[in-house]
Structure 1
Amino acid sequence: MVSRSSTRFLNICIASFCKAKHLQRAETVIIDGIRLGVLPDVVTYNTLIHAYSRFVSYDAAYSVLDRMKEACINPDIVTYNSLIAGAMRHCLMSKCVELFDEMLELGIKPDIWSYNTLMHCFFKLGRPDDANRVLTDIIFRYLSPSPATFNTMLNGLCKNGYVENALMLFRNLKIHGFVPSLVTYNILINGLCKAWRLKTARWLLKELGASGLVPNVITYTTVMRCCFRSRRFEQGFEIFEEMIDKGHTFDGFAYCTVVGALVKTGRIEEASHYMERMVNTGIGLDMASYNTLINLYCKGGKLEVAHEVLDEMEKEGLECDEYTHTILMYGFCKEGDVARAMEYMNAVGINSNLVALNTMVDGWCKADRIDYALKIFDSMDTRDSFTYSSLIHNLCKVGRFRCASKLLLSCLRIGTRILPSAKRAVFDCLRHSGHHREAKRLKSEIKLALSAVF
């Protein structure tokens, strides 16, 4: 007679083989066990499902259900939670919903983990209303929501563009006794920063500090990066100094964020100091770090040093990406060798890259070859606000205000955002040239263009 402990031992062996990714050996153990009269149970098959979903495929994991039916073993909540996790791992969101429905049809009661995953799936599928109904269902079924439940809800709302709803839910949860964790605050701060709600994000950062929780590098870096993106550089540097004062250990991303902002504001010496500091701390340089370093030297007018860094990067086995090539093109343009930048762009095959083309438009303008810049502009399939803003500024500088006005209007009519400074440049150019009537007419045409778009 085979004891129950024999099946337990079988399951331990199978779990060990699965953990080591030896699935074929695990299958052999099951066959040998059956021959000896040691029958697998639901735990055996759940272990296989988990392993197949992790190391093989979702379909391989789901096929284990047929074997369970043949062995007259009923799947349980662990079975379906493992399958749902497998579908999630392979980004099969609709399958997660199907598995949940299948579980209900079999009379298996979902647990809080099942509901949390379903909620996450609905958000991934862009169905926030369904995700909200899942939360309501949890409450009506008297299940105790976990912190992960609320964090999933808040994260989903933020990522689907409902940051205000996430804040309202957060406040209501706190009133009803929910104690937010650092993860909760990081989710909300990240959502606010992505929605350009910097003021609210900074306010939440202060609330986080007052709550007794300690912000981590992710918290600070998220807000700092948003400050830099919003061109509020001094606020970003203040947050960086606060990170230093509190003794946080920086990663490469934090250093690169600060160095990039310092380069943008022309503070090359400070940027070099922090880049050197990052290297001295022993942080390994990745592709982003090398690009930041190359950009630093190009902006500082040290193109030869930038090429030395490029050689070092290639020795480390890293290949240049389009961003690296564009930085080097900018370096050539900065030295006044726009023709060489053009040759380089064509040689490396990035002549359809928007950032590279924007660099060339700006480069030819600064080389007083604005007609050549206009030719490149006309050849571009895609343009962004920087393309228009750069060209408009440079047209105004050489007094070609009528061309700048037409370009400004064409940009606004297609709904492309343009820098306010570019608009001001056109009006200033018209007024200083004594064309006050044209400035008034342009203002009226801009209003009409904006009303047609919105």
Structure 2
Amino acid sequence: MDSNSRSDSLITSIPNGKVRNQARHYLEQATENLLNKETLSAANLSEMNHVLNAWARQKNGAAYAEQLIKKVIDQRMAGNENAIATTDMYNALISSWVPSWGDGKMTTETALACAERAEAILRYMQSEYESGGEIRPNIKSFNTVVKAWYNSASPIAPTRAGRILKWVYEIHTKGTNGPDFRPSFYSFSRVIELYSFRNCATDADSTLLCAERAEEILEFMEELAYTGNDVNPTYRYLRPSVSLYNAVIAAYAKCNSMSSSSVNVAKKAERLLHRMIYLRKHFHQTDLHPTVLSYNSVINAWSKSGCKTSAAKRVETILNYLEDSCNLVNPDKYSYTTTIDAWAKSGDPLAAQKAQNILMRMENNIDVTPNTISYNAVLNSWSKSPLRDAPRKAEDLLRKMQYFYNTGINSEAEPDMISYNTAIMAWAKYRQEDAATCGQSAEYLLNECEQLHKMGHAKYAPTVFTYNTVVEAWTKSYHPNAKRGEMILERMLQASSDRDDLIPDAYGFNSVIQAYSKLGTPASAAKAEELLVRMTELYEEGNEKIRPQLYTYTTVMDAVGKCGTLNAAKKVEEYFRAVVRRYEAGQLDLKPDTVCFNSLLAAYRSAGGKEGAEAAEVWLERMEEEYSIVEPNVYSYNHVLVAWANSGAENVAARRAEAVLKRMTAKGVKIDAFSYNSVINAWSKSSRPKKAQKALSIVRGMDALYRRGNKDIRPNAYSYTTVINACAFSNAETATMRSRLLGIAVAALQELQSSPRYGPANHITYGTFLKACAKLIDEDDEMLRKVMIEPVFTKCCQDGQVGEFVLRQLRVAAPDDLYEKLLGEYAATSNLSSSVKCAVNIEDVPKEWRRNVKEKTRNKKWKNRGVAPRNPLPKRSRS
């Protein structure tokens, strides 16, 4: 057999000069002597066999082995009858090509070439034998090639080794290589392991295909080893071992560890576990007992299946089985910790308590000692819990870890910075208490870490995550304390001057800036601007992590824009232009997005006046035309609509707002109810004589669109209330006009009351209707006032919507006797002979009348609708 190019290249790579040891020197001398023999004797061939086996165990021995085999073939072709290359010789040659990574010099390309060469030799042997040659490959020949592929670490290794296995079985079934040629357990196990562990798959789909292929081979082994209800004596040796089942189960678990989680994958893993149990029970395979690794792999597959609560329940069921005293396998730390982690990721409202219960079971198990990782998993559960006492539970658990470790009860429970950071995060994520409680508790833990670090415990050095999370605790609560958040930020900056490993990033600054933005005052806007300047200075000094992001600029723009003046809006425009300049200069992450544009539009909206509305519309047009990459959304248009509605430009605002609404339709923007309500509001505030009719027609148009299936344009109480408000503030000079406007107000109220899907009339609706009655019904027409007011107020009481606004308007609109009648004992006069109606305190009327009043709903909901949602702060590492 001629040596190919690979062997020639490897021959040249054999190191010259001084040999490393006597054994290799002997092999080189013996090889040289054999190669220099003119005629090989039987003794020479016996010696050659030993030398070949020795080279098979040496690195870079394949080239020498190739030369020796070539010498035998050449002698045979020259007529030397003693020169016979045996199967053992060829097996040694194949073995010499098996890749070895021990010296660290093997590359992937070389390993692949070695495996290819080993298989080429095998195929040559089989081809020669089937053509009548004397060299018959045995099962060792095939196993050695499988080993070569196993050691190659090549992506194609599972497929190529699988082909060898299939080839073996075909030769066996045909009887080509004799009756003693049978597939070996070694080949099956190595191919299964290749598909399970060494598949080089980089995505979930490929990993799943490999796992399924491994299971197919495992099932084929079962088919051969088991027949009917008994073991097949012919292939008894092919019974899959526990380790092979574990390999395939682990392969399925690996699939769910990647991006594509699936309950079906977890079910496949568990099915293999049940197959082991079934074979042990029904085929009396006493050695086929699932190990704790078997159960843990199934637990792992379920915990990462993406099924959340159902997965956590399934994992706990498996853990319960492991804890069963009748079971021969006991759970270990991984079993408990993975179950805890499954509950932590489940999203179940009671997940943290369930995780804590698992930890208690772990503590009560004398064979298992919870470690820091176990406790941290429960801390993580509490940090995500919506329960009111979750932060305190997390901190209590941290204290328990400290107590157990310090007293020697559990030396493996020492808290680390992840423990502290997670407890701090539990306080930071809590939203049901004020900033003082959350911030102080988080800051106390930070103080503790800083003190431990000063005492020489380096592992408790607060990280950037620690400081940023305490900042978040102060700035993200219901009542954010931006000043305290800024103080923590300054502590981090001061600490970073003494620590090279503490490099502040933009997250903490962004949190404080956002808190100042929420305050909405000129002073808070100035603080936000100062922090932006500070970030810029630190970035220019060399801290890349603190470079202001687009989110930073957008939040500062929001803060300044909330000042509500035209000068503030112009300053926001300057910030916007600065962002554009930086983007054009090469800072690609500062490319203005829709939220950034909307912050500019919101600033001009808040500025008020005709000039602010015109500027907002100009920027909207630029957004449509000049910045085509960033398309305006419904919020962009809504800002402009609100700007016109609140502009005070009575003569043009309504028409301009309606024109913007038509542009939204023409451009295919998904219009919502807020858009229409803003136009209705603009008409309500206009000076046009038929503004009430126009407002009602728009509401009825909304109603028609909603009934045809457009659920985004559902009218609400605000829609109809605004129509009534338009009636109340229309310039009605004649009785006919006032009567017509009163009819529109009545129609609007009745349409709202007859359409429950649009929500009930609220206290603003009823109060506005009473205002309309006061303005549109002559004072001397007491009968009409009574007819209009009494049933409306009675319905208002039934709906529980009697608020202060309703009482004020009732006092103005109702005749004296009706006022006293409706309020009964709650109405009084300052003097019995006086006809002056006294105000009624809202606290004096029955609670039933005011049970549904939400005084702040209008200001919060209607003011804030249409403001673009803020970008969330980026996620951070907890360590």
Cα 1:242–1:326 change in 2 (3 A) is: closer
Work out which of the residue numbers 217, 220, 226 in structure 2 matches 1:67.
217
Higher alpha-carbon Rg: 2
CA deviation string 1:364-408 (max 9, x = no partner): 213325434543664557689996568758856875999789979
Q: 2 CA distance for matches of 1:91 and 1:338?
A: 49
State the Cα deviation string for residues 95-152 of structure 1 (Å, max 9, x = none): 65884796596333436556554444444263726544443444435244444x4554
Find the residue that maps to 1:445 and give its secondary structure.
helix
CA deviation vs aligned residue, 1:256-285 (integer Å, no higher than 9, x gap):
344345445535355445545655382514
Task: Give TM-score scaled by structure 1 length.
Answer: 0.68
2:626 and 2:376 map into 1 onto residues whose CA distance is 43
Counterpart of 1:259?
A: 557
Structure-2 separation of matches of 1:118 and 1:245: 46
Q: Structure 1 residues 251, 293: closer, same or farther in 2, change over 3 A?
A: closer
- Point out the structure with the larger helix share: 1
Instruction: Report if aligned partners of 2:391, 2:430 keep a CA contact under 8 Å in 1.
Output: no
| Paired residues of 1:45 and 1:64 also in contact (CA < 8 A) | yes
Cα shift at 1:184: 1.7
Distance 1:232 1:117, change over 3 A: farther
Equivalence for 2:621? 307
What's the offset of the Cα at 1:296?
A: 2.9
Contact 1:255 1:278 in 2 (8 A): yes
Counterpart in the other structure of 2:598:
295
Return the match for 1:142 from 359, 362, 368.
Answer: 368
Superposed displacement of residue 292, structure 1: 2.0
The equivalent of 2:201 in structure 1 is 51
Aligned residue identity for 1:124: S
In the alignment, does 2:346 pair up with 1:124? yes
Q: What value does the CA root-mean-square deviation take over the aligned residues?
A: 5.4
1:30 aligned residue: 161
Describe how 1:377-416 pairs up with structure 2 within 5 A. Answer: 378=703, 380=706, 388=717, 399=728
**What's the counterpart of residue 443 of structure 2?**
206
- Measured in 2, the distance between the counterparts of 1:99 and 1:236 equals 57
List aligned pairs for 1:357-396, cutoff 5 A: 357-368=673-684, 369=691, 370-372=695-697, 374-375=699-700, 378=703, 380=706, 388=717
C-alpha separation between the residues in 2 aligned to 1:197 and 1:268?
32
Contact residue 553 and residue 579 of structure 2 kept, 8 A: yes
Residue 201 of structure 2: SS of its match in structure 1? helix
Structure-2 change in CA distance of 1:395 and 1:348 (3 Å): same
Q: Tell me the CA shift for residue 361 of structure 1.
A: 0.5
* Inter-CA distance 169–330: structure 2 relative to 1 (3 Å threshold): closer
The 1:303/1:75 distance shift into structure 2, 3 A limit, reads farther
CA spacing shift, 1:214–1:48, aligned 2, 3 Å: closer
Contact 1:96 1:118 in 2 (8 A): no
Aligned partner of 1:83 among 231, 252, 264: 252
1:55-454 matches, within 5 Å, as: 55-56=205-206, 58=208, 61-68=211-218, 70=220, 72=240, 74-75=243-244, 80=249, 83-87=252-256, 89-92=259-262, 96=266, 99=269, 106-109=290-293, 110=296, 112=333, 115-122=336-343, 123-124=345-346, 126=348, 128=351, 130-139=354-363, 140=365, 142-147=368-373, 149-159=374-384, 161-162=386-387, 164-177=389-402, 178-181=415-418, 184=422, 187-189=425-427, 191-193=429-431, 198-207=435-444, 209-210=446-447, 211-212=449-450, 213-216=462-465, 219=469, 220=471, 224=475, 227=480, 231-233=518-520, 247=538, 248-264=546-562, 266=564, 267-269=568-570, 271-272=572-573, 274-275=575-576, 278=579, 280=582, 282=587, 284-285=589-590, 289-299=592-602, 300=604, 301-311=615-625, 313-315=627-629, 320=631, 324-332=633-641, 334-335=643-644, 336=653, 337-351=656-670, 356-368=672-684, 369=691, 370-372=695-697, 374-375=699-700, 378=703, 380=706, 388=717, 399=728, 427-428=804-805, 430-432=807-809, 434=811, 444-447=848-851
- Report the alpha carbon displacement of residue 52 of structure 1 after superposing the two structures with TM: 7.0
Change (3 A) 1:218 1:424: farther
1:232 deviates by 4.2
| Contact 2:560/2:569 (<8 A) preserved | yes
Query: Quick one: which amino acid aligns to residue 294 of structure 1?
Result: F
- Code of the aligned partner of 1:375: R
For 1:415 and 1:180, locate their aligned partners in 2 and report how far apart those are by CA, in whole Å: 52
Does the CA-based 8 Å contact 2:532-2:556 persist in structure 1?
A: no
Count residues in correspondence.
428
Q: Give the drift of 1:303.
A: 2.9
Q: CA deviation at 1:324?
A: 1.6
Q: Secondary structure at the match of 2:204?
A: helix
Residue 327 of structure 1: how far off its partner (Å) = 1.0
Q: Is contact 1:192-1:198 (8 Å) kept?
A: no
Q: Per-residue CA shift, 1:138-184, capped at 9, x if unaligned?
A: 4435244444x455444444545235235313332234223343752
1:28 deviates by 3.1
Match of 1:192, SS state, is coil
CA distance in 2, matches of 1:374, 1:442: 34
* Separation in structure 1 between the aligned mates of residue 570 and residue 681 of structure 2, nearest angstrom: 28
Identity of aligned residues (%): 11
Q: Which runs of 5+ in 1 are unaligned?
A: 18-24
How far the C-alpha of 1:46 sits from its partner, in A, is 3.1
Q: Secondary structure of the equivalent of 1:174?
A: helix
Q: What amino acid sits opposite 2:849 in the alignment?
A: E
- Counterpart CA distance in 2 for 1:278 and 1:164 is 43
What amino acid is the match of 1:324?
N
| Runs (5+) with no aligned partner, structure 2 | 1-91, 101-143, 169-183, 222-239, 278-289, 297-331, 403-414, 451-461, 481-513, 539-545, 605-614, 645-652, 685-690, 730-744, 769-799, 813-818, 824-839, 855-879
Q: Of the two structures, which has the highest relative contact order with CA contacts closer than 8 Å and spacing of 6 or more?
A: 1
Deviations 1:311-362 (A, max 9, x none): 45534xx6x4xx72331243255343222232233334455x5xx3213212
- Rounded to whole Å, the distance in 2 between the matches of 1:176 and 1:50 is 40
Partner Cα distance (1:387, 1:215) in 2: 47
User: Which residue pairs with 1:20 in the alignment?
Assistant: none
Cα distance change, pair 390–328 in 1 and its aligned pair in 2 (3 A): same
